[in-house]
Amino acid sequence: MAIYHLEAKIISRGAGRSAVAASAYLSCSNILNDYDGVRHDYTRKKGLVWREVFLPEYAPAEWQDRAALWNAVEENEKTKDSRLAREFVPALPVELTKEQWQELLSDFINEHFVTEGMCADVAIHDPDPPGHNPHAHIMLTVRPLDENGKWQYKTEKEYLCIKDGQERGFTAAEFKAAQADGWQKQYQYKIGKKKGYMTPSAAEAQGYERVNKYPKSTKFGRQNPITERWNSEEQLVQWRKAWAEVTNRYLQQYGHDARIDHRGHAERGLDEQPTIHEGAVARALEKKGIISDRCEINRQIKVDNALLRELTITVKKLMQAVKNTLPAIADAMERLRSNMIIFKYQLLHISSGKHRIKQSLNLYREDMNEYIVLADKIKAKSKERKIALTEKKKTPIIHVLKHRDFARRIAELTEDLEELRSEKAVLLQQMQFPEDATADSFRKEIRTLETGLKKLETSEARYTVELDDALKQYAGFQEQAAEFDPAKLYEARLAIRSGHERNSIQRVQEAYGDKYNLLMMFDSRREVGALLNEEVEARSLRERLRQKQQRRQKTDQQRKPKHHEQER
């Protein structure tokens, strides 16, 4: 089933990651990082379905080689905490084929990233078992390119200048014009025992000593308008929406009914809360229009308690209230029959719920096992990475080769962790669990479903007993009706049957609301008819009426005078 999942990440040196390592990992390639001399070889990694590099028209042609592209990125970024790339990890709809995934991603990347001036490196991963968790990795450059294929700045230094007591920010290019207009930079001066910012002219007049040569500036500088837009929350929302739209377009194009939605519950107007506490997971499913097993259990128990109490009392009173007259017997039998239809509907509904819960339990158990494996892998990799980092710090810097080996191993473990965390996020998204869910979340849900299953089995047993009792009472009515003409009794029952059936249908509809199932009601009526042998009874009655009519016709013919006797 198609699910919406689009995880956004930033690949930065500050987090211990490398753009070259990330690209080598996602594309299962062997790439040398010129920045630190570490070679990243992931050619033996499995699960790769497809990989491709997309470039805007003015990007250098040699960047079609991902090694050249990401080494150019690494070379251009100078600081130890530089943001190197943006990464998206979308879940791919299992309804589409591998070729259709490629079309979908190519369309999305070209329309929303390449046309914006970003270089994109994409790969599809379909880890073992295939079709279980297909997803893509989209790496994007974070610096815009100019028309000559050169990197633009991400941020510019912005000096906080002052004029007539007013403070404003200017870039280096802007300051030339601003200086002519009377704006001055501010520097830090020692004012008594304290430090403060002043203009040089004001400080010199009072004889203050400058502390350093750096002018006052904004903390992060001024962002390039293009990168500012790319980094904004509004832009991320637009990309998330675009992924849902293009995915739904391809699902529709290739004849699938499944759809995904990027919006949260509040945005979709789904603020109502169930009247019974089912928990966050169950409520999330119900809000999306998906029947939650937990909510279904509670709903079923609620309906059981209301209907069973009412029907049990009705059935017990019927035998006592019946008068030995044909209309009374006919009415009692039809009332009992309509109650049996409700009993049967409940049994069918419970059986359907049990089947669905058993399927869910199997899925939860499988997903819990997968989650535990992922969590154990993440824990082991994290521990190994921590040890490698510690060992690297302990190793003297003169041991260059050892440092490179440690760096390569740390990068490998870092990328493994990112992949495992992405798989974990997709799994939790599928199960409608929060990001901080643990194995205990799965166990708790399994226990809840198992408890609910036992409750449904108890309800099923109660309804089975009530249906058996109703059948015995029906047999008692049949014995009482033996003294009446079967044809007249049958006609009397048929005359009131539709009214009683409508009443039973209305009671079920009121109990279940929009969860009422018309097909299940049809099956209930048909199965009650079979339990009561109504078809056999109707056929027998028709045969008796036919025989009676034949005897009447024969008697009439015998009484009719012959033709020659009339002539005498």
More confident residue, 221 or 314: 221
Are 104 and 95 in contact by the 8 Å Cβ rule? The answer is: no
Which candidate, 5, 45, 35, places its Cα nearest to that of 415?
45
Q: How many residues does the chain have?
A: 568
pLDDT number for residue 286: 47
Cα torsion 467, 470, 472, 475: sign:
negative
CB-based contacts of 131, cutoff 8 Å, min separation 6 = 94
In whole angstroms, how far apart are CA 163 and each of 184, 284, 490, 521? 7, 56, 104, 82
pLDDT of residue 280: 47
> What is the rounded distance in angstroms from the CA atom of residue 438 to the CA atom of residue 374?
11
Over residues 260-317, the pLDDT tens digits come to 887 764 455 443 323 223 444 454 544 544 445 556 666 666 666 666 666 665 655 5
Q: What is the mean pLDDT of residues 377-392?
A: 90
Structure pTM?
0.63
Strand locations in 30-134 (E) = 30-33, 38-41, 48-54, 83-90, 120-125
Whether residue 321 is predicted with pLDDT greater than 90 in this model: the reply is: no
Domain edges within the chain: 6-152+227-261, 155-223, 293-371+437-532, 539-568
Please tell me the distance from the alpha carbon of residue 54 to that of residue 235, in angstroms, as a whole number. 20
Quote the pLDDT of residue 123.
96
Mean pLDDT over the full length of the chain: 84
485/433 Cα distance (integer angstroms): 65
Nearest to 422 by CA among 1, 4, 5, 3: 5
Max mean pLDDT among 119-123, 303-307, 333-337, 453-457 falls in: 119-123
Q: Look at 411 and 433; give whichever has higher pLDDT.
A: 411
- Topology of the domain comprising 6-152+227-261: BirA Bifunctional Protein; domain 2 (3.30.930)
The predicted pLDDT at position 489 comes to 85
DSSP state of 219: S
Backbone angles phi, psi at 169, to 5 degrees: -95, 140
Region 200-216 average pLDDT: 90
What is the identity of the amino acid at 189? Y
Candidate from 158-162, 310-314, 563-567 with smallest mean pLDDT: 563-567
Instruction: Kindly report which listed range (129-133, 288-292, 317-321, 352-356) carries the lowest average pLDDT score.
Output: 288-292
At residue 64, the pLDDT reads: 95
Higher pLDDT, 556 or 466: 466
What pLDDT sits at residue 328?
86
User: How far apart, in whole angstroms, are the C-alpha atoms of residue 222 and residue 117?
Assistant: 20
Residue 30 carries which side chain, given as an amino acid letter?
N
Neighbours of 454 (CB within 10 A): 11
Lowest model confidence (mean pLDDT) among 1-15, 176-190, 251-265, 491-505: 251-265
- The answer, yes or no, to whether residue 236 has pLDDT greater than 90, is yes
Q: What are the angstrom distances between the C-alpha of 350 and each of 16, 123, 446, 506?
A: 54, 45, 19, 19
Residue whose token pair is 């990112």: 418
Contact 452, 363 (CB under 8 A): no
Q: What distance, in Å, lies between the first and last C-alpha atoms of the chain?
A: 92
- State the Cα–Cα distance between residues 500 and 493, nearest whole angstrom: 10
Strand, coil or helix: 18: coil
Q: Grade residue 83 by pLDDT with cuts at 50, 70 and 90.
A: very high
Average pLDDT of the segment spanning 6-29: 93
Residue 300's pLDDT is what? Answer: 61
Phi, psi of 128 (to 5 degrees): -65, 135
* Confidence (pLDDT) at 76: 92
Q: Which helix (H) or strand (E) holds 334?
A: helix 326-394
Q: Is 264 exposed, middle or buried (0-12, 13-18, 19+ CB in 10 A)?
A: exposed
What residues contact 177, with CB distance under 8 A and at least 6 apart? none
What per-residue confidence (pLDDT) applies to 317?
A: 57
